[in-house]
Structure 1
Amino acid sequence: MSLHVTARDEGEPAVLLHSGGMSGRQWRKLGEALAPTHRVLTPDFLGSGENPPWPADRPFHFHQDVEALSALLAGLAGPVHLVGHSYGGLIALELARKHPAQIRSLAVYDPVAFGVLHSTQDAEGLDDLSRSSAHPVFNDAERGGSETWLEVFVDYWNGPGSWRAMAPAAREAFLRVGRKVYFEVSTLLADRTPLEAYAAITAPSLLLFGEHTPAAARRVVTLLGTTIPHATVQPIAAAGHMGPLTHGGAVNAELTRHILAASAPRSP
């Protein structure tokens, strides 16, 4: 299963992974900032962006996106800089721990690696996570990915009323990929990858979270920061879970600084 990938410019590759329900276009401004020094690749996950829609009746596990991205990394020359947001952050972490020699640097914002909450029995994170899963529609396989389901999903991450406040075009875009997002979420919620598994990540790592991000994701970042050997944890003031979009200037500045610092020296 190959992915649609937008690639531009030359240099060390930087692979930017979008959040669930979005596409590689999410990282347009970061790509512009990195373009003078790096080859920027923005893949769309399976069933997202320019890829064919995921069939509503076909099962999916997030490991399938990991496999597709592993194939992409294997075809690139040299190690890559890897960036991911939310679901893309989880995929980035999976790639970095499974293929450490292929990663030059890692940067994630609010990665949804919820297995670390279970392995540590983190009360604050698990209590917060239960807010969404407690809603009867959230685990309803028949309605998963529907407008009713997406309202619960979006409002958990962004606050009550966020779904209804979205522009009609934005809601329609989410509905087109809603079933795939449901499968992503249901499989990542079942993931039990323990915290200690992420100690295998050897690249310099930047772990970002929003000041107003839901507690579950904030706790994931905090816990990962105690385990990934070369990790820096950095909050983004006034931002929430969608900080890469709502506070793109601040987030992209941190990401660009991290990637440039980790880049190999270049010949004059």
Structure 2
Amino acid sequence: MAHSLHTTSRGEGQPVVMLHSGGMSSRQWKKLGDVLATSHRVVAPDFLGSGSNPPWPEGERFDFTMDVEAVAKIVGELGQPVHLVGHSYGGLVAMTLARRSPGSVRSVAVYDPVAFGVLHAANDVEGLTDLARNDKPIFFDLERGGSDAWFEVFVDYWNGPGSWRAMPEPARQSFLQVGRKVFFEVYSLLQDRTAASAYAPIEAPALLLTGEASPAAAKRVAARLADSMPHGRLVQISGAGHMGPITHGAAVNEAIREHVASAS
């Protein structure tokens, strides 16, 4: 049975379901939501253990498919096909939901979705070599996962050496509060081996966004996903890295706005 998620909803029209990245909350998409709510119904859930949801229970294991099922419940209750928007972990959840239930999706727009299974299935040397930079003992340590030391490896992979230590203390504490849930998100998604061909049934318009400075693995995932879908389109955001929806919000939001408008 799918868990229930805390969700905010505003605006009227075709629904747009906006999914945040790991360790953050639905507030990530507020500015884009402000724009889309003038013409669409914007639905923004917090993932399990995140945002306004209760903390993930201490000692309880988690698999990313649990968030997929919880979002699928929301989509089902909306009663019509939706536009899906997602970043990083939220992008993986969006893509997984779309391939499992392609008829429930009107369009998809994702930034650096962490669907690393496509790299393993294709033995993508460039992507897998880059992903191997995370191949350190602590990264899969069930005892220390989600700790300060674990986040240092995780955040520095995505944003460059020293990024974790350079973050303001309140920001680090915010991530550490949901650290165990984020660890299990990552731990479970890295076991995924779903091939790019599994996404071929997604016939809805699909926008695959990545950053010019995003890690090579993320770029390869976006490219392979775009190629796998009948109406997939790859767009690179100039100067942006993995956190492009935050650092280059204007460019990312405009690309998504245009995509949703053209698919409405």
**TM, length-normalised to structure 1:** 0.97
Separation in 2, partners of 1:27, 1:225:
23
Deviation digits for residues 35-82 of structure 1, max 9, x if unmatched? 110010110000100000112310100010011011110000311110
Name the structure 2 match of 1:9.
Answer: 11
Which consecutive unaligned segments of at least 5 residues does structure 2 have? none
Which letter does structure 1 place at the counterpart of 2:157?
Y
Instruction: Tell me which of 109, 121, 125 is aligned to 2:111.
Output: 109
Aligned residue pairs: how many? 262
Separation in 2, partners of 1:77, 1:34:
19
Name the structure 2 match of 1:161.
Answer: 162
Instruction: Tell me which of 22, 25, 31 is aligned to 2:24.
Output: 22
Which consecutive unaligned segments of at least 5 residues does structure 1 have? 264-268
How many percent identity over aligned positions?
62
Stretches (4+) displaced over 2 A: none
Q: Are the aligned partners of 1:23 and 1:45 in contact in 2 as well (CA < 8 Å)?
A: yes
Name the structure 2 match of 1:140.
Answer: 141
Separation in 2, partners of 1:29, 1:125:
32
Q: CA deviation at 1:9?
A: 1.3
Matched, 1:76 2:83: no
Question: SS of the residue aligned with 2:235?
Answer: strand
Name the structure 2 match of 1:64.
Answer: 66
Which letter does structure 1 place at the counterpart of 2:236?
P
Deviation digits for residues 176-222 of structure 1, max 9, x if unmatched? 10000000000000001111101011110000000000000100011
Name the structure 2 match of 1:211.
Answer: 212
Question: SS of the residue aligned with 2:230?
Answer: coil
Structure 2 matches for 1:177-216, cutoff 5 A? Answer: 177-216=178-217
Instruction: Tell me which of 88, 93, 96 is aligned to 1:94.
Output: 96
CA RMSD of aligned residues (A): 0.6
Question: SS of the residue aligned with 1:56?
Answer: coil
Separation in 2, partners of 1:195, 1:100:
15
Q: Are the aligned partners of 1:56 and 1:180 in contact in 2 as well (CA < 8 Å)?
A: no
Name the structure 2 match of 1:39.
Answer: 41
Q: Are the aligned partners of 1:146 and 1:178 in contact in 2 as well (CA < 8 Å)?
A: yes
Separation in 1, partners of 2:58, 2:125:
34
Q: Are the aligned partners of 1:85 and 1:111 in contact in 2 as well (CA < 8 Å)?
A: yes
Mean alpha-carbon deviation: is it higher for 134-143 or for 15-24? 134-143
Structure 2 matches for 1:214-229, cutoff 5 A? Answer: 214-229=215-230
Deviation digits for residues 81-111 of structure 1, max 9, x if unmatched? 1000000000000111111111111000000
Q: CA deviation at 1:5?
A: 0.2
